[in-house]
Amino acid sequence: MNFSYLALGDSYSIGEQVPIQDSFPYQTTQLLRKKGIPMAAPEIVAQTGWTTDELLLQIEKNSFLPSYDIVTLLIGVNNQYRGRTTDNFEPGFNSLLQKAIAFAGGNPQKVFVLSIPDWGVTPFAAERNNASIALEIDGYNTACNSISGSIGCNYIDITTSQRLDALDDSFLAADKLHPSGKEYAKWAKLLADQIWMLLK
């Protein structure tokens, strides 16, 4: 029996600007297969530009399996990009996390939240207020970490290293905003290592 994986999010989950096999859900699946974990292809419900409320709306329209062995959630950058406050973000994020837990058969340990990348450090944002963006992203991620931890979900920080990598073009896609497959590989390694501990 293959293990099932549902990835919920935005452009970072679909791998905007890179081949689908370079996205972090697909790279995670491949890493787990190499470790001997029989994984089905990931099911991805995500779209570039989605906020928490747009993802919630799409979830209501989709059909899903009765449950999944693994669920990932990476959402919020578009809330921040549109100028919404952390207080505005938290209720929607919490609702998504509750849905993710339900998709995981009610087991929060099967839910993995990835931190929101800092787009302000990319060349795309060269004319923006980088310090302000960083401060707001940090606030969002603090909320993600706190809410996730309070209900027993896993939280993975990819932002710290992503900020350093964004100075290297090889870690960026052609639009100089989204990550390349090389950056997603780092996220996939962190995620696969934690999933392997759960499923082995």
Break the chain into its structural domains and give their ranges: 5-199
What is the per-residue pLDDT across 166-176, written as a single tens digit (0 to 9) for each?
A: 889 999 999 99
pLDDT confidence band for 1 (50 / 70 / 90)? confident
pLDDT in tens, 77-128: 999 999 999 999 999 999 999 999 999 999 999 999 999 999 999 999 998 9
Check if CATH label 3.30.1490.20 holds for domain 5-199. Answer: no
Instruction: Please answer whether residues 78 and 12 qualify as being in contact, where contact means their C-beta atoms are separated by less than 8 angstroms.
Output: no
* Selection from 116, 7, 106, 18 nearest residue 62 by Cα: 7
What percent of the chain lies above the pLDDT cut of 90? 96
Strand partners, 1: none
pTM for this entry? 0.96
In this prediction, residue 84 carries a pLDDT of 97
How many residues in the chain? 200
pLDDT one-digit tens code per residue, 145-162: 999 999 999 999 999 999
